[in-house]
Structures are given as C-alpha cells and as structure tokens.
Chain A
C-alpha cells in the first residue's frame, strides 16, 4: 500500500513569504495522479491542484504544484492571510486509491 509522507509537519511563515510543502510517496504514483487540498478549521477541504500540476477552477495562480514519481511539491508564491491553513496531498494513481498524506499546517509566524 502506498504511503504519503508530508513535510514539514508545521511551517511558520509571514504573509508575503513563499511556502514550499513536500509530499513524498513510498512508491511511484502512477500517471502522477496526485492532488493537493486546503482545509481551514471547521471547514471542508478545497481542491487546489490535481494531476500534480493543474490548478482547480478558481484557484489563484500563486498556488502551483510540481513533481513526479515519488516527490511532489505545493508552492504558494506569496502567502496571503487567507492561505494559513492545513494542506493535504492525496494520491489516486495506485490501489488503494484516494489515500491522503497526514497534512502540513501553515501557520503565521
């Protein structure tokens, strides 16, 4: 079973700074079928990126995804106040499909 490991667990940054979040898979993710979600407290997750690098509808271009195989990255180019949240990666290329990483919290420094 594929395991997704996100790092760091917590990222402390200031508004305007660049955030780089990592998601590493225990085996290659088929077809780079990896997504990123944002979740704020008490809210449902929101899809940001799908297929490793495609922005979902309505997502600002400060969010970008990259990577392939086992190493994937979510980059937020300049943090806005509303970007402080928890971010999850999810793979859907390998069975069992749909598994999530444990999350990275981006907090205000």
Chain B
C-alpha cells in the first residue's frame, strides 16, 4: 500500500505564494497519475489539478487555472503544487491523491492533507 505524505502548508497573506509537496513511497511512482484535491473548512471536496505519470497531460479546475502549477519529479517520487496569487477562498486542507493503475480517476490512495490558510 502506497504512503503519500504532504508538506508545505501554512499561513500566507493574500497575494502570497506557497509550494506544496507530496512524497510517495511507491517505487513505480512514474506509472501513476497524481492529483490535488482540496477541502475548505467544513465544506466538501473540490478537485484542483491532475498530472499524468510522466507529466505530459495536465489539467486544472477553473478556480485555480493561471494561478496554480502542478508538477512532479519522478526521480524524487514527489508531486508539487505551486500556488501563486493566493486568495482567502484558497484556504483549505490540500490532499494529494493517486489514480488507479493507468488511470487519472478515481483516487484510490490519499495523503493525510496539509492545511493552507490565507489571511492577513
């Protein structure tokens, strides 16, 4: 069973930037698509972004397109989310998630989440 461990969350002022990381224990990391999903306090789940195994296919939700950038370093078994121009409504727990074998969706493994708070 894969272990996913997010890091990089914290408190940032509006307009600021933050980079999240997600380290995978899976040896064959590059064969799995990865995604970020967020959950605002007390709210439901929102898909944010996905990236294919070798990074050739990337997609974003409308709410983050142009501000967030997903990437991965397969040599380090690590997924990233660069978040720029942060707004108060970006405040959420951010989960990284792994797709089923050969697929982007659905997500059969999740990290424990990292909290991003955007506030002055």
Contact = CB atoms under 8 A, between A and B. Distances in A.
B113 A44 contact: yes
A88 B45 contact: yes
Contact of B105 (A43, A57, A90, A103): A90
A56 B104 CA distance: 15
Nearest to A90: B106
A98 B35 contact: yes
- The A interface is mostly helix, strand or loop, or mixed, namely loop
Nearest to A33: B105
Nearest to A58: B1
A66 interface: no
Interface residues of A, number: 23
Contacts of B37: 45, 98
A96 B44 contact: no
A14 to B, nearest CB: 25
Interface in B31-85: 35, 37, 44-47, 50, 59, 61-62
B29 interface: no
Given A35-B107, A44-B95, A57-B108, 8 more contacts: A37-B107, A44-B111, A47-B107, A50-B108, A90-B47, A92-B104, A92-B105, A100-B44
